[in-house]
Amino acid sequence: MSFRVVPLHPKAMTVESILPSASKPVRVGEYLCLAVLGSGAMARVYLARPLAGGPPVALKLLHRRLGRDPGFVSMVLEEARLVGCLEHPCVARLQGVGAHAGRPFLVLDYIEGDSVESFVQLARSLGKRLPVPVALRVAVDALEGLDAAHGARDAEGVGLSLVHRDVKPGNLLAGVDGRVRVVDFGVARGRGPSLRAQRTRTGHALGTVAYMSPEQVAGRAVDARTDQWSLAVTLWECLSLRPLFEGATPMAVAAAIAEGAWERLEPRRGDLPRGLDAVLARALERDPARRYASAGELREALLGCAGEAVASARELAVFVAAMAAPRVAGERRALATAAMGFAGPLCRPRSRRPVQFADLRSPGPGGRPPERAAPAHEHAPDALDHGPGAVTARRATAGRGCRA
């Protein structure tokens, strides 16, 4: 898998379009929110720094219009309860919970990188395809995180029976550290009276229709195998760059899902591992009992058919660094601006020289400075179509091995 970096089309991406920023930082609890990382139906996620100092975090704050709705407030608290029981490198870690002006917020690990959805959209806009090894690595890491979530237990050792229910490209974050993490458990289902009450109150399916399983769109009971379906739909989209189930309205999409017919990928792409369609076909069985027994079993099936075609962590890191360069640069700029523009332990520079983006990055192994980042908003992978056969060439060029 080889990545040649070339200039982007000037209208394809800008720092401003990717990273909206407020006119000035806003204090939320003991944090200073510097820029908007993303926004959904329930909450907005900010890049934030603790006022007491420390590494940046992602702060998820419930929308103001929902702050007085006990149902939505309970959903945020339920997300905190469930994610607080998870400790896995492929799941974004919860650091704390707070409240601001009556609205709850979650403090989560900040992931320097971008969503898989952004990579799919950029590849589509450039008329390119995501490398198969990268798409497979996304699926393998996500399944590892989901398998850990499905088997999570509370402090008393009782299984949570957790189901994410909203697995999709937008809820998978790929970091410059070469790891994919599952995020946003806002509509997750788990064992516990608070969530059962919320489900009874809402009385409708929760999630994103295009990635829902047949049992979800039908309003039937779901278990961990529904996340398996959604992940298979996500992988199919990463490899084809179009939704698996489409329709003019959400009802039409739901009808297509209920019908269950889907197009095989291997006739469309000759660079896919043999047997991938068979793995997807089992994960996309309409009857949950015919799917894989667990996310871990689906992960092993993907690794079994793909073998060395799956990108290593370092190869994914190279890809993410190139694809997410404008976003990462914008976030580092926001952090640097905060460091230079505000008094106190949050941002007082140690010297008179201007703060550089590299100052805000963690040191490399053994305390060595990290490698220099690529220039912002100037680069993107041109070799998006390259498959696993180019991995060996890149390793030889780099002069060192790549290991997952």
Co-location of 126 and 257 in the same domain: yes
Tens digit of pLDDT at every position of the chain (404 positions): 443 333 333 333 333 333 344 457 889 999 999 999 999 889 999 999 999 989 999 999 999 999 889 999 999 999 999 999 999 999 999 999 999 988 999 999 999 999 999 999 999 999 999 999 999 999 999 999 999 999 999 888 889 999 999 999 999 999 999 999 999 998 888 875 444 444 433 344 567 999 999 999 999 999 999 999 999 999 999 999 999 999 999 999 999 999 888 999 988 888 999 999 999 999 999 999 999 999 999 999 999 999 889 999 999 999 999 999 999 999 999 898 887 765 333 333 333 333 232 222 333 344 433 344 444 334 554 436 554 444 433 433 333 333 33
- Shared domain for 22 and 154, answered yes or no, is no
CA–CA separation, 374 and 325 (whole Å): 7
Q: Are residues 45 and 95 in the same domain?
A: yes
* 351 domain residue, yes or no: no
25 found inside a domain: yes
For residues 300 and 151, state if they share a domain. Answer: yes
- Residue 8 CA, chain-centre distance (Å), reads 23
Task: Examine residue 354 and state whether it is found in any structural domain, yes or no.
Answer: no
CA end-to-end span of the chain = 14
Whether residue 104 is found in the same domain as residue 120: no
Per the structure, the complete domain to which residue 384 belongs is given by 5-111+326-343+373-396
Phi-psi region of 62 (alpha: psi -120 to 50; beta: other; left: phi over 0): beta
pTM for this prediction: 0.79
CA distance linking residue 184 with residue 208, whole number of Å: 12
CA separation for the pair 193, 226 (Å, rounded): 21
What is the rounded distance in angstroms from the CA atom of residue 123 to the CA atom of residue 129?
6
- Annotated active-site residue 166? The verdict is yes
63 in the same domain as 95:
yes
Which segments of 241-294 does DSSP mark as H helices, in order? 250-259, 276-283
Let me know if residue 401 belongs to a domain. Answer: no
Q: Are residues 185 and 300 in the same domain?
A: yes
207 shares a domain with 94: no
We report the CATH number of the domain holding residue 216 as 1.10.510.10
Would residue 42 count as lying in a domain? yes
Residue 16, in any domain of the structure: yes
Q: Which of 114, 147, 166, 227 is catalytic?
A: 166
- Domain count for the chain: 2
Q: Does residue 210 sit within a domain?
A: yes
Rounded CA separation 211/228 (Å): 10
Q: Is the residue at 265 inside a domain?
A: yes
